[in-house]
Structure 1
Amino acid sequence: MGEVNARPVRLIGLPTDIHSSFLRGPAAAPTAIRAALWSEAGNPASESGLELGADIVIDDGGDLPLAENAGDDALIRASVAAAIADGAFPLLLGGDHSVTFPIVEAVAAAHGPIDILHIDAHPDLYDDFEGDPRSHASPFARIMERGLARRLVQVGIRTLNRHCREQAARFGVEIIEMRHFAIEAVPRLDGPLYLSIDMDGIDPAFAPGVSHVEPGGLTVREVLALLHRIEAPLVGADVVELNPSRDVSGITAALAAKLVKEIAAIATVNGRP
C-alpha cells in the first residue's frame, strides 16, 4: 500500500447555501471539513490502511469563487469537467445539496448516465420547494427528469411525504427507508457510480451539525459499512449540508472529514471506470 495511485483526488469546495431552506450555514462547511481533515487530532490513514499523501494523492483545488447567482452552476460544471479531463477524481465539499445537480451534469456529460448512491434523511425530489426549482430539496428531481442517472438508490430516508413518494414513483427511484434499513437491502450498483452524502442522513446523535435535524438515522458504522462494500468504480462524490454553526465540538466536521478520507480510499482502490 505504499504505491501512490495515478488518479489524484481533487477536492473542490463549494461555499454556497443560497438554495437552503430554514437555515443558512453550509457555505462555511468546506473550510471546516478541511480543518478537520488536516487536524493533528487525527492522522491521514483511512480504515483500509491507505494514507492521504502516501497512497492517495490529494489535489486540493480550493474553493470556487461562487457568487450565489445564476452563474454558479456553470462554474461548478466547469470545475468538475476540468478535474475529469485532468484524470482526477472530483470530490466536492458542499455547500447545500443543490450543488449536486450541476456536479452530476458534468459527470454525466463525461461518462453518460450514471448510477447514484444517495445517503440522506430526505429524498430531495421536490418538483420545487417554496417556489425554488433549484432548492436543496430538489436536486434529484432535476437529475432524474434530465435522464442523467440510470439508477438512483436512496438510503436513510425518513421524511418521505406524499409528494416525494409520487416523485419517486414517477422517476423509478429505489428508496430504502430508514424504518426498513438493512445493509443487505441496499443493492450493489454496477457503476460508473456517483456518491452523494448529506450529513443529515446520519443520526443527529453522531452528526448534530446540520440545519435539518432528523432523529432516527444511520449510525456512523452503518454508513462506513455501506461505503466499504462498494466495488464499482467511482466517478465522483460530494459531502454536503454540514452546518458548522450548528456543530458541537466539531464532531460533525470530523465525521465529514473521515468520510472524505474513506471515499478517497475507495476511489483509489476501485480504480477508473
Structure 2
Amino acid sequence: MTKHNGTNDVALMGIPLDTHSSYLQGPAFGPARIREALINGAANLTAEDGTDLGTETRWKDSGDLEVFEMRGAAAIDKIYEGTKERLDNGLRLLSLGGDHSVANPVIQAHADHYEGLNVLHIDAHPDLYDTQDIGHFGHGCPFARLMETGKVKRLVQVGIRTLNKHQREQAERFGVEITDMRSWHSDWTVKFDGPVYMSLDLDALDPAFAPGVSHFEPGGLSTREVLGLINRFEGRLIGADIVELNPHRDPYGMTAMVAAKFVKDIAARLLRTA
C-alpha cells in the first residue's frame, strides 16, 4: 500500500483517537495494530471473493489524521476536514479507529458528499446517548450527534444488546431501525436505496471472537456472521469504518487479525463499486 490520492481509489485512513472513551484508553493504537496484522505474514492480502489487495493498484493508504490526544470539538472538526479533503480528492475511505466517536465527523463528511446517505451500524451498543460524563462527543453519543443533523436518510443498527430506556427513547425520536441480538438470525439482511456507509464496532462480536475491546458484551455475533453482513446487504457501499480495537486487551493480536480480515472484505466490496 502506498500513500496516494486518486479518483476512485479505495484508501485506508487511520484515526488514532481515544480521548472520548468512557471506560478505557487504548483504541488510539488500533490503526497501527490493524495495519501490522494486515502485513504480518501470517495471512495474505486476499479477500474471500479473490480480490488481492497486494496487487490491486486502486488500494491505497492515505495515512493517519493527526488527532492523537486531541479532544472535543477541535478533534471532531479536524476529523471532518481530513475526511472531506480525501473525499474531495476522489477517494473511497475505509477508516480505522480509534474510539467510536470518530464515526460522527467521518459520516457527517460522507453525508455532505453523498446525498441520501444510509448508514448500517453494527455494534453491541446503539451509541445514541444525548451526553455522557465525558461530554456530548463521547463514544456512546456519535449516532445521536449524527441524527441531529438531519442529513442521514436511514440508520439501521444490528447486533444491539444493551438498549436501555434512554437510548430506546432516542431511537424512537430519530426513527432508528434496530435489530437486537434477541431478534437476530443468521440469514438476516437489509436492502438500501441509495449510497450506504457501514460503521463496524468490534464489540458487536461476542468476546469469544474479539476479546480485544474495551467493553465486553457477551452474546454477540461471530466473525463469520459479520462477514456475512458485510457481503450480503443490498446497496451501494461508499465508505466504512472499523473502530474500538483496544490492543491493550488483545491477547496475541487475535482481535487485530479479525479486524484485518474485515478490512480485506470491506475493501473488496468498496473496490467492486468504485
Pair in the same fold by TM > 0.5: yes
C-alpha separation in 1, matches of 2:76 and 2:14: 13
1:83 and 2:76 equivalent? no
Unmatched runs of 5 consecutive residues or more in structure 1: none
Distance in 2 (CA, whole Å) between partners of 1:196 and 1:56 is 25
Matching residue of 1:23: 24
Separation in 2, partners of 1:163, 1:110: 31
Residue 115 of structure 1 contacts residue 189 of structure 1 at CA under 8 Å; is this kept in 2?
yes
Q: Does structure 2 retain, via aligned residues, the 8 Å contact 1:44–1:51?
A: yes
Aligned pairs for 1:160-239 within 5 A: 160-239=163-242
Matches within 5 A, 1:1-273: 7-55=8-56, 57-66=58-67, 67-69=69-71, 70-130=73-133, 132-269=135-272, 271-272=273-274
* Residue identity in the other structure for 1:53: G
Q: Name the CA distance, whole Å, in 1 between partners of 2:57 and 2:257.
A: 19
State the number of aligned residues: 267
Greater mean deviation of Cα atoms: 43-52 or 180-189: 180-189
56 and 129 in structure 1: CA distance in 2 versus 1, 3 angstrom threshold: farther
Could you tell me whether the CA contact under 8 Å between 1:155 and 1:186 is conserved in 2?
A: no
Q: Where do 4+ consecutive residues of structure 1 move more than 3 Å?
A: 183-186
Map Cα deviations across residues 36-82 of structure 1 (whole Å, 9 max, x no partner). 01111000100000110323622212111114133222221122112
Within 1, Cα distance between the matches of 2:257 and 2:91? 24
Tell me the SS of whatever aligns to 1:190: strand
CA displacement at 1:113 relative to structure 2: 3.6
**2-structure distance, mates of 1:201, 1:173:** 17
Distance 1:228 1:248, change over 3 A: same
Is residue 190–residue 234 contact of structure 2 (8 Å, CA) maintained in 1?
A: no
Amino acid at match of 2:131: D
Q: Is the 8 A contact 1:56 1:265 kept in 2?
A: no
Alpha-carbon separation, structure 1, partners of 2:70 and 2:187 = 40
Unmatched 5+ residue regions in structure 2? 1-5
Q: 2: CA distance between counterparts of 1:222 and 1:260?
A: 15
* 1:130 Cα deviation from its structure 2 partner: 1.9
Offset from partner CA, 1:202-249 (integer Å, 9 cap, x none): 110000000000000001111111111134222211000000000011
Name the aligned partner's letter for residue 86 of structure 2: A
Cα distance in 2 between the residues matched to 1:131 and 1:92: 23
- Aligned to 2:53, the other structure's residue is in SS state coil
Q: Matched residue of 1:71: which SS? A: helix
Q: Which amino acid aligns with 1:48?
A: D
Aligned amino acid, residue 95 of structure 1: G
> 1:210 corresponds to which letter in structure 2?
V
The 8 Å contact of residues 197 and 237 in structure 2, kept in 1 or not, is answered as yes
In structure 2, C-alpha distance between the alignment counterparts of 1:60 and 1:131, rounded to whole Å? 31
Q: Is this contact kept in 2: 1:209–1:252, CA < 8 A?
A: yes
Name the SS for the 1:10 alignment partner: strand
TM-superposition CA deviations, 1:81-105 (whole Å, max 9, x none): 1222222111110000000010011
Question: 1:131 deviation in Å?
Answer: 5.3
* Contact 2:189–2:232 (8 Å) recurs in 1: no
Shift of 1:185: 4.0
**For the residues of structure 1 that align with 2:134 and 2:84, how far apart are their CA atoms?**
30
